[in-house]
A and B are shown apart, each in its own frame.
Chain A
Amino acid sequence: MTGQQLTGRARLATPGTMQGIGKARGLKAGGNRVALPILASLALAGCVTVNAPEEAIVIELNVNIRQEVIYRLAADAGNTIDENADIF
């Protein structure tokens, strides 16, 4: 019973309704026909192409950072060894 009531309320989709929607959209698009190229050219002008970085670059950076740290610590580590000669 309840199901029938609900179905009764909904509007059935008919070819006429669908065509009407299509017409409405077509008109709207027609109105924007001048604005679209302007928008497109604006978007293109302000566009900055950024390519995704390759994985290899990230790995290389990690190696460089680490090596930099090792270089920075070299003198300190050398002194530490000399100062603790009994355990080196």
Chain B
Amino acid sequence: MGDMMNTLTKTALGLAAAALAVGGIAGPAFAQRDPAYENARSAGQIGEKMDGYLGIVAGETESLRRIVNSINIKRRAVYSDKAQAANATLEEYAFAAGCQAIMKTVPGEKYQAPDGSWQTRGAGAPQRDPRCP
């Protein structure tokens, strides 16, 4: 019993320390967007889709395709890991992330509305799927 409590306490302390460490370095450690991606995004060439991936809004070019494909492959890998950990399917997790990613767009950026059309994010809330929280 004592041993078990000790282990539990150690685990809790370890988790707390880990959380503190992550929280402490969170800001500076998180990588920023690639400038080419950032520019295409703010120019409205690339938008957030409902399914959790990026899409080319208009004027498809080879360089835009490269940016979108490269990021979508990375997103898929992240979704896959996180979905497994959360006991959900890849599609469910990606969709949930899409809800959040559309919510996090800033005015001027493009996102996909529930009817499939591309919309420009305004000052208000974006149009999202009714299943989004």
A residues with a Cβ closer than 8 A to B are 63, 66-67, 69-74, 76-78, 80-88
Contact = CB atoms under 8 A, between A and B. Distances in A.
Given A66-B92, A87-B74, A87-B75, A77 B97 contact: yes
Interface of B: 30-34, 71, 74-75, 78-79, 82, 86, 88, 92-93, 95-97, 99-101, 104, 130-133
Contacts of B131: 63, 66-67, 70
How would you classify the secondary structure of chain A's contact residues: helix, strand, loop or mixed? helix
Given A69-B92, A70-B92, A80 B97 contact: yes
Task: State the 5 A-B residue pairs at the shortest beta-carbon distance, nearest first.
Answer: A73-B96, A86-B31, A77-B97, A77-B96, A67-B131
B34 A74 contact: no
A35 to B, nearest CB: 57
A16 B47 CA distance: 89
